[in-house]
Structure 1
Amino acid sequence: MSAASAVRTFEVRHVQLARALFAAVAAVMITFSPDHSAVVGMSVFSGFATATAIIFLVSAWLVHPAGRRTVPIALGGVTLIAAILGGIPVLRAPVGFFAVVIGWAAVTGAIELVAGIRRRRTDAVARDEILIGAVTIALVAGLLLVNPAYSLEYFIAEAGGAFTLTGITIGVGLFGGYAAIVAVFLGIAGFSPRHDEHTASVTAAPAASASSTPSNPEVAS
């Protein structure tokens, strides 16, 4: 069996499923947490970013061939930096949360979106990169519309108490919603028919037709 026909132990779908898993964990932690403070939000984001960075960096060697590793390495490096920043105590404040998450989402979203657009005609998974990149850029837009210092006090008679809606509560909620969307989409993409098989069949077709063409001019005539 040639190296080209050998089935990889780890494929793009495994990367998608791993990313979906940790995104789902982040979404569940935020959704079911009664505390949407900057400390909790940054802790969840830091854990999510650490796991995602490891997935990107490991996949650069286990999944992607030589010459196609720039994007996962760049995504892994930026995400790892964001995870480290998320662990700094002084940044676990509303402004720090918005700054780190917006910066991370802007860079990684742009990288994934541009990479998908450039490879949309040659790579079957480019559409997944385009959509995830677009959703990540949408997270940036949503967070930029929120004022970290925003505060609104309101009273719910049925609950018998007063509550306060803050900018950081909205920001953490937006990140949780983003993580849920990413988890659902990448989960569906990971369980869909293998993209690499489709690509292999497309690239193998010209080779098969070329090998079936007679090489002897006398026979062809």
Structure 2
Amino acid sequence: MAHAPAAAVIGTRFWTVPVARAVVALVPAALITFNANHSAQFGLLVFGAFALVSGLVIAGLSWLTVRDARDRTLFVLQGVVGVVAGVLALLLNAGGLGFFLYLVSVWAAVTGMLELFAGIRLRARDRTARNQVARDLLIVGIFTAVLALTFLLLPPHAVVSVGLLGAYLAIVGVYLAIAGVDARRGLASSSTDSDTP
């Protein structure tokens, strides 16, 4: 399995994961963009809903589309972290700016590292040019890790922080939508190529 093509490791229907994640990210991005209330409580509610739904999507769809058990565990773990962070944000939505910054930072650091690790593992298995999935995992992992660093380093300010979360969700949502379309083509051609002698 160490040299199996990407489609053999993650399955040809994995493209549904980035597409669903894109939709889940773009909805709260629009909510933040078109809402004048950028309070910490609003940020926690929006982040909580996003993290919860995104975690369920990642865990559920990855369980169905990732063929390798170790890789599947990474994605499911990433989903579980999202669900836990989402539930905490929703239940403790009056926790204030400090809690918002801390929770988003921890979520972004953990899920960003898991996504980076999944991308590195997948890239090591398939170094062909058509392995866009590994590249996309790495890029989204970097975006998410940068969000964690930004929240840790910037001076605390609710409007700026909630706005940055909205910008992150918009960027990642658009990127994942494009990545899903590319993955659908790439995984389909990998599957066809692996079927031919």
TM-score, normalising length: structure 1 = 0.76
In 2, the alpha carbon distance for the partners of 1:63 and 1:119 equals 14
Question: Structure 2: which 5+ residue stretches go unaligned?
Answer: 1-6
Which is helix-richer, 1 or 2?
Answer: 2
Counterparts of residues 45-56 of structure 1 (less than 5 Å) = 45-56=47-58
**1:47–1:90: structure 2 CA closer, same or farther, 3 Å change rule?**
closer
Match of 1:23 in 2: 25
Match of 1:32 in 2: 34
Counterpart residue type for residue 42 of structure 1: L
C-alpha contact 1:146 1:170 (8 A) present in aligned 2:
no
Counterparts of residues 35-184 of structure 1 (less than 5 Å) = 35-67=37-69, 68-89=71-92, 92-123=95-126, 124=131, 125-148=133-156, 167-184=157-174
Which is strand-richer, 1 or 2?
Answer: 1
C-alpha contact 2:49 2:90 (8 A) present in aligned 1:
no
Shift of 1:16: 0.8
In structure 2, the residue corresponding to 1:11 is in which secondary structure? coil
**1:146–1:204: structure 2 CA closer, same or farther, 3 Å change rule?**
same
In structure 2, the residue corresponding to 1:120 is in which secondary structure? helix
In 1, the alpha carbon distance for the partners of 2:18 and 2:84 equals 21
Shift of 1:203: 3.2
CA RMSD of aligned residues (A): 2.1
In 2, the alpha carbon distance for the partners of 1:70 and 1:195 equals 23
Shift of 1:141: 1.6
In 1, the alpha carbon distance for the partners of 2:112 and 2:32 equals 21
In 1, the alpha carbon distance for the partners of 2:195 and 2:50 equals 38
In structure 1, the residue corresponding to 2:179 is in which secondary structure? helix
Q: Percent identity?
A: 37
118-127 or 132-141, which deviates more: 118-127
Counterpart residue type for residue 58 of structure 1: G
Match of 1:211 in 2: none
Give the alignment partner of residue 191 of structure 1, picking from 177, 181, 192: 181
C-alpha contact 2:45 2:93 (8 A) present in aligned 1:
no
Shift of 1:195: 2.8
TM-score, normalising length: structure 2 = 0.85
Structure with the larger RCO, 1 or 2 (CA within 8 Å, 6+ apart): 2
C-alpha contact 2:41 2:93 (8 A) present in aligned 1:
no
C-alpha contact 1:91 1:97 (8 A) present in aligned 2:
no
Q: Moved runs in structure 1, 4+ residues, more than 6 A?
A: none
In structure 2, the residue corresponding to 1:35 is in which secondary structure? coil
Counterpart residue type for residue 199 of structure 1: S
In structure 1, the residue corresponding to 2:180 is in which secondary structure? helix
C-alpha contact 1:94 1:168 (8 A) present in aligned 2:
yes
